[in-house]
Amino acid sequence: MNQKVLVTGGTGYIGSHTIIDLIENGYEVVCVDNGSNSDTSSLAAVKDITGIDVSYYHLDLCELDGVKRIFDEHPDIKGVIHFAALKAVGESVEQPIRYFRNNLDSLINILDVATQNHVEALIFSSSCTVYGDVTHSPVTEETPLQEAASPYGRTKQMGEQMITDSLKNSSVKSILLRYFNPAGAHPSAKLGESPVNPAQNLVPVITETAIGKRKEMTVFGDDYPTRDGSAIRDYIHVVDLAHAHTLALRYIFEGKQQVSTDVFNVGIGNGLSVLEIIHAFESQTGEKLNYKVGSRRAGDIMAIYSDYSKAKNLLGWEPKLDVNDIMRSAWAWEKERTGRQNQ
């Protein structure tokens, strides 16, 4: 019998790609999402790609009774992958209380119910924002955490600590996956980043500009002390990132994790600037982007990229796709979804 996994935030960008990877690796999936920044069209795409109709709950994880109901109806859930969270850095600066309430209340409820129901594994969607404004890259899991540059980053720092403290004397084992910058789309072009609210992440902003949904895009700052003045990030293909969650679950399920909570960086291992990403898109697609340079954005840091050797050594994970794959797949997805919207 397949092991059952609850995926929170499962209709979202990373969640839906991870559901596909879980199904392809033999897991049964239950999905929950409140639809605040995604809709169930992603689950229709999951069914189209995998042939599986995923069990779905539309509810807010900040409501404890709703979380309990999922586990009452699926007492055989063995693992939880917790994506559900608000995630826009700039918005979190403007609406900090909303971010703290949503991201932390939902996690408390997941921890409460998961421990009561003796799940074996909790995989937490953390972020490189926990490192704060680092002075040196690449960062390892041992790099000291600095002051978070945004309330969003603070919720991830606090979330990591809450999990570590809550599970210290529990049978539940957890892995904190610190993502860098997910981008790209499923190779089928049937699934990709499709936020309900205006896109905030760089790559969908690029593709929306190229296809004409935006007249122009803004590069936030060209006065950073970097090689071209724009901020540097580590862009990881969402398909590679999705597989890291499956491997993390398997690592715990197979009894390989000795500590209560462990942490892994998940990135591609080198940094690209915003302008380099724009030029990579132009070279891969032949499209010319209309962009302007604006001032720096609150909450952004200058540069960060990962050392993922721990994930490679223990989980057997490493990225297989690069920035060119990201750009080609993101553009194929943008053209596909825009064509659907215009039909």
Residues with catalytic function: 152
Which amino acid is residue 126, in one-letter code? S
Question: Please, are residues 77 and 116 in contact by the beta-carbon 8 Å criterion?
Answer: no
Q: What is the 3-state secondary structure (H, E, C) of the chain?
A: CCCEEEEECCCCHHHHHHHHHHHHCCCEEEEEECCCCCCCHHHHHHHHHHCCCCEEEECCCCCHHHHHHHHHHCCCEEEEEECCCCCCHHHHHHCHHHHHHHHHHHHHHHHHHHHHCCCCEEEEEEEHHHHCCCCCCCECCCCCCCCCCCHHHHHHHHHHHHHHHHCCCCCCEEEEEEECEEECCCCCCCCCCCCCCCCCCHHHHHHHHHHCCCCCEEEECCCCCCCCCCCEECEEEHHHHHHHHHHHHHHHHCCCCCCCEEEEEECCCCCEEHHHHHHHHHHHHCCCCCEEEECCCCCCCCECCECCHHHHHHHCCCCCCCHHHHHHHHHHHHHHHHHHHCC
